[in-house]
């Protein structure tokens, strides 16, 4: 392949981003037969299939993944060139698109992503926070570079991706100063009938806490359940109940929300994962996340 038809590459790039030819038609203002023809011509010039069917969607083959990465860079540079010729300042920089599971504590997400902000080459960080299932669908379409989650990719999920364990830690029980003084004595048995603010059962933390409560015969007085971990902490700061956080962000949580430590549950373990379509991580920013997590964030004691 000596010369590449960049019109074909553009149509391929848009289809890969949109996931279906129908959605690409809306973006390109072309008919489905026209786009399908261009894709076939690009595959013939490459000599390999770039897409395969997954239900109603198109997913990239391994060759398609490689072509898509180059296309992303090519069209990003093209946009930068157009803006430069128009006298606009350069704004292009490498992007890291991160999916953050909505059950992941905000402080922990920041600590995991903080190393990206200090790389020698500046990176544009794009964060997408929502449910894990939706994020995995985006990852499968190569719209995300990595997903951060409190649970690994389940074998039952039909997404070809790989789990990379970032680390694990125990759980800290925190509360307002008055609640901390009251329930610190006799911990952890003091938690029986104590007022609690808990995440909803879709989070691994809630499921782990429920198992521990059952095993210890402790019955918390659940005052509220929250999808949003930040909102939960605001209620905790106001003294509405005790709450649990990963011990890796215990100090930051106490400082930011002006709460105090009641005690630590080392038997309850929280694990955190980076989920990627790559078996071996290659993106420099993703590697920075994993290296920092292994080296500092989850180093207990």
Domain layout of the chain by residue ranges: 6-85, 95-167+272-297, 168-268
Q: Which CATH class is domain 95-167+272-297?
A: alpha beta
pLDDT given for residue 301 in this prediction: 44
CATH topology of domain 168-268: D-Maltodextrin-Binding Protein; domain 2 (3.40.190)
According to DSSP, the β-strands at 260-276 and 162-175 are antiparallel
Q: How many CB atoms lie within 10 A of CB 57?
A: 16
Q: By the 8 A CB rule, do 148 and 108 touch?
A: no
Separation CA 148–CA 153 (nearest Å): 11
pLDDT at 75: 80
Instruction: Give 6-85's CATH code, choosing from 3.30.160.60, 1.10.10.10, 1.10.150.120, 3.40.50.10470.
Output: 1.10.10.10
Sequential pLDDT tens for the chain (301 residues)? 456 788 888 888 888 888 788 888 888 888 888 888 888 888 888 888 888 887 777 778 888 888 887 887 788 777 777 766 776 655 556 788 999 999 999 999 999 999 998 888 888 889 999 999 889 988 888 888 899 999 998 877 777 888 999 999 999 999 999 999 999 999 999 999 999 999 999 899 999 999 999 999 999 999 999 999 999 999 999 999 999 999 999 999 999 999 999 999 999 999 999 999 887 787 888 888 988 888 778 875 4
6-85 and 168-268 have identical folds: no
Signed CA dihedral, 257, 259, 262, 264: sign only: positive
Rg (CA), the chain: 23
Q: Note the pTM of the prediction, 2 decimals.
A: 0.70
């Amino acid at each position: 392949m000596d010369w590449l038809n960049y019109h074909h590459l553009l149509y391929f790039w848009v289809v890969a981003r949109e996931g279906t030819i129908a959605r690409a038609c809306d973006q390109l203002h072309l008919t489905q037969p026209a786009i399908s023809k261009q894709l076939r011509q690009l595959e013939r010039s490459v000599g390999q299939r770039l897409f395969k069917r997954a239900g109603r969607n198109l997913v990239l083959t391994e060759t398609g993944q490689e072509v898509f990465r180059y296309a992303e860079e090519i069209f990003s540079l093209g946009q930068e060139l157009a803006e430069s010729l128009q006298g606009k300042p350069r704004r292009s920089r490498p992007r890291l698109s991160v999916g953050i599971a909505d059950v992941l504590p905000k402080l922990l997400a920041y600590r995991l992503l903080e190393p990206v902000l200090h790389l020698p080459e500046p990176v544009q960080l794009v964060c997408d926070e929502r449910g894990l299932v939706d994020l995995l669908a985006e990852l499968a379409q190569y719209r995300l570079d990595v997903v951060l989650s409190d649970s690994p990719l389940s074998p039952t999920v039909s997404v070809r991706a790989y789990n990379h364990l970032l680390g694990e830690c125990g759980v800290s029980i925190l509360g307002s100063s008055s609640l901390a003084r009251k329930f610190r004595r006799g911990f952890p048995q003091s938690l029986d009938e104590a007022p609690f603010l808990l995440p909803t059962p879709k989070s691994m933390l809630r499921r782990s806490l429920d198992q521990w409560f059952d095993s210890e015969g402790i019955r918390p007085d659940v005052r509220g359940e929250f999808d949003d971990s930040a909102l939960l902490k605001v209620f905790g700061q106001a003294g509405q109940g005790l709450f649990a956080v990963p011990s890796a962000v215990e100090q930051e949580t106490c400082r930011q929300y002006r709460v105090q430590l009641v005690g630590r549950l080392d038997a309850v373990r929280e694990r955190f994962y980076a989920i990627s379509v790559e078996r071996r991580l290659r993106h420099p920013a993703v590697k920075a996340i994993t290296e920092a997590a292994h080296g500092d964030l989850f180093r207990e004691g």
